[in-house]
Amino acid sequence: MSKRKSQGEHDSMIEFLADALYGRNLTDVQADISGYKKPSLITWPGTDKGYVPDVTAWDGAQQLIYEVESADSITDPHTEDQWKLFADHAQRNNALFYVAVPPMAMGAARKRLQELSLNAKVVSVP
């Protein structure tokens, strides 16, 4: 998880999302914060380079990958690298990739995904 000026907000959003996923009919909810099992590293094919998603869960046989962003991290180069990897992994593995942002950042996240030609669903996390 990268450090940013809004790290506390970011971690709170991860906790809220992970807790909310437990309330759904999902299995093996994992989150990259204290108190949860850490999600597995996702790597580029043929390499050991990659990133750990903020939250993962399973809906039956389909993996759900969530990357949480605060408003100040949407255009960060690190975020772009993560989104490209997670979108590629989701496409290759019949998984679903979600970008979770505060409500006021949903438009910016959708715009950035479109600029990068990436397939992900944007969801709101308070």
84 and 75 Cβ atoms separated by less than 8 Å: no
Quick check: 1 pLDDT over 80? no
55 and 68 Cβ atoms separated by less than 8 Å: yes
Structural domain count, the chain: 1
For residue 121, CA distances in Å to 34, 48, 65, 87, 104 come to: 26, 27, 10, 10, 16
On whether residue 2 sits in a domain, the answer given is no
pLDDT per position as a tens digit, 54-107: 999 999 999 999 999 999 999 999 999 999 999 999 999 999 999 999 999 999
On whether residue 96 sits in a domain, the answer given is yes
On whether residue 31 sits in a domain, the answer given is yes
On whether residue 64 sits in a domain, the answer given is yes
User: Alpha helices, DSSP H only, in the chain?
Assistant: 7-22, 77-92, 106-115
On whether residue 12 sits in a domain, the answer given is yes
Q: What is the domain extent for residue 54? A: 7-124
On whether residue 24 sits in a domain, the answer given is yes
Tell me, yes or no, if the pTM score tops 0.85: yes
Query: Which CATH number covers residue 119?
Result: 3.40.1350
How far is it, in rounded angstroms, from Cα 69 to Cα 102? 8
On whether residue 1 sits in a domain, the answer given is no
